[in-house]
């Protein structure tokens, strides 16, 4: 059986130890804001477009944190590859376009909502660890991003 690979760019918008997640219409699974590239878009072009469309915000200072791979949320026989970026949101996020609900979840102890496997299994543990190692985390980010890419090869 052939697996479908889905490549996405996701935003780790964090405020006071809480991660912003979004739920699309007709879904009960919360995912990261972001999405799939269109045409020849770069990651940063994709991220800027998706954040504008989904949250009505702009982003500044985007930085690749790491790449994650997991079972795709709600898509049978599929794998999602998420290139996770951090950035500062400009504006107050509001659910727009296909987004029905936003939630800020505590990184250390998320409330009882259904999260995408990539968030539950990889992204939250990574963000917890990153928060614990306060010294030099910004300098290690590129190395961690490269390691995440190497793990996919």
Contact 82/6 with Cβ under 8 angstroms? Answer: no
Write out pLDDT tens, residues 73-98: 888 789 999 999 999 999 999 999 99
| Architecture (CATH level 2) of domain 4-152 | Alpha-Beta Complex (3.90)
Q: pLDDT at residue 146 above 60?
A: no
Q: What is the pTM of this model?
A: 0.84
pLDDT computed for residue 109 by the predictor? 85
Q: Give the separation between CA 44 and CA 18, rounded to whole angstroms.
A: 23
Domain ranges in the chain are: 4-152
């Amino acid at each position: 059986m052939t697996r479908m690979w889905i490549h996405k760019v996701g935003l780790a918008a964090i405020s006071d130890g809480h991660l912003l997640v979004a739920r699309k219409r007709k879904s009960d699974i919360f995912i990261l804001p972001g999405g799939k590239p269109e045409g020849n878009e770069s990651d940063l072009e994709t991220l800027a477009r998706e954040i504008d469309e989904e949250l009505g915000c702009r982003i500044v200072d985007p930085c690749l944190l790491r790449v994650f791979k997991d079972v795709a949320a709600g898509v049978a026989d599929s794998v999602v590859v998420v290139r996770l970026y951090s950035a500062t949101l400009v504006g107050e996020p509001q659910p727009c376009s296909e987004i029905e609900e936003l939630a800020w979840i505590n990184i250390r102890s998320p409330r009882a909502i259904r999260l995408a496997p990539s968030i539950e299994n990889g992204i939250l543990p990574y963000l917890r660890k990153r928060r614990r190692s306060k010294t030099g985390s910004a300098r290690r980010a590129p190395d961690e991003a490269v390691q995440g890419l190497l793990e996919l090869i």
